Structure 1
């Protein structure tokens, strides 16, 4: 009986994440033989962005991508600057945080924090979500938040929660903040600029209300799961793959002088990071450099030898290789679509489909279209540049204000970043936390659906009030 059960479990075992992504790439290759190739004309705006020219879509000669070309597409993707920067960023973060973790500083302070919040652990979750939501809606922080994941996990475990909870309260905090986009230059800023909505960031009052709703729903959802796991550890979706904090005697852990110095170094580095991103235009290269230096400094403050610092850096990079390489595999999906010249065809067809919808659901139709487009174009700025020149005139034709059209874009662009395998940010979260994609999807899918329903309600209300 047990053997049969074992066989059944083996038969329904979730395929490896790489296999899932490869199958998606294969399907996209086959679609290049079916979907007509096409393209829009594009022109450069004053800021140097290449924008689609509405009404210029034309079919072109088919350019199918053979499945035999997948390996080459993968290597080309890895070689592209946008992908390899993220991969090396993840590697450097992995090395730096391995050093920081080995100093014992995070464990010591999280144990202390756990004692401080004993009996009121639920407060940690909305606090973390709100903090990272602020980073999301002001500076558009997404991939930058990867550096905080190990800290979130350590804090969560210090109060009896699990890895998923620690990851979710940081990842989902940044995602809902980025999506609400009150003053986010990368989604609302770009979209309003392209759509001609002035002044920049107008309509913020409504986005504030949406953000509060997002934070409340997300907090309640994460708290519900966290408390369930705390009461019954068998409910942990990661099962035996997750460690159990109950085996650690946190009362025996003390904060030392070295720990305080290392914490000070980390706080200074994070302050520099926030300032650099907000005021100096920092992105991956600058952030990676900062954390490369931070890892070495923390190792020196901990009293590690040069050899040990190097060994721990390599160990940290090795531990995160699986997740880092996922970024390249997922990026191959977009490479194949570009090579097959089907991206513009897909965008054109989805945008045109909105016109056929009843007027009462047109804005929700726009929202759903943006959700779908977010799969191949998983970039807020890129999606705004690709779709707003089309969506804004479509909104005009169907009686929607451009402010509402931008709102449909930003809500459709943001939430699915928590589940799409093309989201390098989400994959980075999973790489940093070592949560299998299948486990994360099972955990977060209901939350994304709930937040999507909230979004649709706000979109419908926006039409009613003439937002």
Structure 2
């Protein structure tokens, strides 16, 4: 009898689409939507220099019919409109490449790892708590992108993977941002529009903050511990000793390192102050990162040619992720060109008028979550949503405080998963985490946050939550 040859199976051609492919498909769906959804617009007014939607003024308009060239032109326009974020990401890469090459970050993090050896949980918990508090008080929002590299160094030193790096920085930051009990850019603006005392209702928000942060730390540590026990549990593969020249735990932490890190911390601290008190923008951040890079290179004793070359090497590493931000913005551009964003906002608000108070509150949350796909600026979404939600809350019998929190949850939670979030895509780019891998890891955590948000809104309606 002849020996049977093994059956050759056809290799599947399917593989997970690249992030660029996913975003282009989203862009194409938005393009098709402009032919299906009628154009419309709300009237707007400018109050204290801020443009606001006037409730009950929606009307259909004659929209421009887009052509195929408009689809591709939206990519170019999205890149231009996102130029400030794109260059901020590139300059972040250049700055941290210089700091990383100096050995200062590795030195201080290695010292922290040695101090917490056997109790790595506390290192992850403390770092996560710091970033969560920074998000809750509005001290760090877009700026979290710059700190993802710190998460990368920590994850690398602990032999974890890049997902952990994003989780303990970006993820923790938005655990706090989603509640934002003293955030002037989201809660402050929303409560001002709703005519509520600024930062009122803090007691319940702090309780929810502690709950969300605690579960986020638990979820992150659960994954990190699995990797420590068995590296094959990683969704991406762990960092190796020789990856990116990281060195080991015995790397020295010299006086020069201490001076460099003191300089960087003081600079970043001043930037946080300038962002909240002096009105500094992303453009200021980008310029300041060049200043920090130059100062760090000088303190590290690097040759001027080495400073320039190292900075450019750092920017080169983040080109892939920086361009993603522009492509994500192009989705909004195509919807704006088709004049259908206001139509979508109006369609989201209409069903809420006929629901019971509890369901209306949840409906507000869902509507704002969907709106966050289109408008992922916290303050920008407040300007669009709160003038609509405030009178709606009065009509359906829920407090304005509930309406504000519905907006906050809708604006914050979905930043974990929506690819149109420039901060998310930039953070993933810095850590070199594919969007599909991140989504697979973070989606169960997002569902946990979702349940907490819904339960919070139900309790808030039941207790008739008002200013406190």
Q: TM-score range by the shorter chain?
A: over 0.9
Query: Where do residues 47-446 of structure 1 align in structure 2 (5 Å cutoff)?
Result: 47-80=48-81, 83-197=82-196, 199-239=197-237, 242-245=238-241, 250-446=248-444
Instruction: Give the Å deviation of 1:161.
Output: 2.6
Given that residues 139 and 277 in structure 1 are in contact (C-alpha distance below 8 angstroms), is that contact kept between their aligned partners in structure 2? Answer: no
Find the aligned partners of 1:28 and 1:139 in 2 and give their Cα distance: 32
Give a deviation string over 1:21-75, Cα, whole Å, max 9, x none.
1111111011000001000000111x21111111110011132323331221221
Q: CA deviation at 1:201?
A: 1.1
Runs of 4 or more consecutive aligned structure 1 residues displaced over 6 Å after TM superposition: 246-249
Name the structure where helix makes up a greater proportion of residues: 1
Deviation at 1:355, TM superposition (A): 2.2
Kept in 2: contact 1:137–1:178 (CA 8 A) = yes
CA contact (8 A) 2:355 2:396 kept: no
Q: List runs of 5+ in structure 2 lacking aligned partners.
A: 1-5
Partner-residue secondary structure (3-state), 1:14? coil
Aligned-partner Cα distance in 1 for 2:52–2:212:
31
TM-score normalised to structure 1 length: 0.95
Helix, strand or coil at the partner of 2:52: strand
Distance in 1, matches of 2:188 and 2:67, equals 39
User: What is the CA distance between 1:158 and its match in structure 2?
Assistant: 2.1
Residue of structure 2 in register with 1:36 after alignment: 38
In 1, the alpha carbon distance for the partners of 2:152 and 2:206 equals 28
Q: Distance in 2 between matches of 1:175 and 1:34?
A: 34
Partner SS, residue 4 of structure 1: coil
Q: Find the residue that maps to 1:375 and give its secondary structure.
A: helix
How many matched pairs? 458
Three-state SS of the structure 2 residue aligned to 1:43 is strand
Does residue 4 of the first structure (1) align with residue 9 of the second (2)? yes
Going from structure 1 to structure 2, the CA distance change for 1:112 and 1:317 (only over 3 Å counts) comes to: same
* Partners of 2:139 and 2:250 in 1: CA distance: 40
Q: Counterparts of 2:49 and 2:8 in 1: how far apart (Å)?
A: 63
In the TM superposition, what is the alpha-carbon distance from 1:249 to its structure 2 partner? 6.4
- Alignment partners' CA distance in 2, 1:417 and 1:249: 34
Partner of 2:3: none
Specify the SS of the correspondent of 1:180.
coil
How far the C-alpha of 1:251 sits from its partner, in A, is 4.2
Return the alpha-carbon distance in structure 2 between the equivalents of residues 275 and 384 of structure 1: 23
Range 267-276 or range 392-401, more displaced: 267-276
CA distance in 2, matches of 1:184, 1:229: 35
Structure 1 residues 101 and 364: alpha-carbon distance in aligned structure 2, compared to 1, 3 A threshold? same
- Residue 19 of structure 1 is matched in structure 2 by 21
| Residues 129 and 169 in structure 1, CA contact (< 8 A), matched pair in contact too | yes
- The 2-side partners of 1:175 and 1:262 are apart by 29
CA distance in 2, matches of 1:403, 1:175: 21
Query: For each residue in 1:92-122, what CA deviation from the matched residue of structure 2 results, as whole angstroms up to 9, or x when unmatched?
Result: 1111111111111111222221111101100
Pairwise CA RMSD of aligned residues? 1.7
Q: What TM-score, normalized to structure 2?
A: 0.94
Confirm or deny: 8 A CA contact 2:113 2:123 kept in the other structure: no
Contact 2:80 2:326 in 1 (8 A): no
Structure 2 SS opposite 1:128: helix
Distance 1:267 1:89 in 2: 18
- 1:2 and 1:361, CA in 2 relative to 1: closer, same or farther beyond 3 A? farther
Q: Which moved more, 1:291-300 or 1:138-147?
A: 138-147
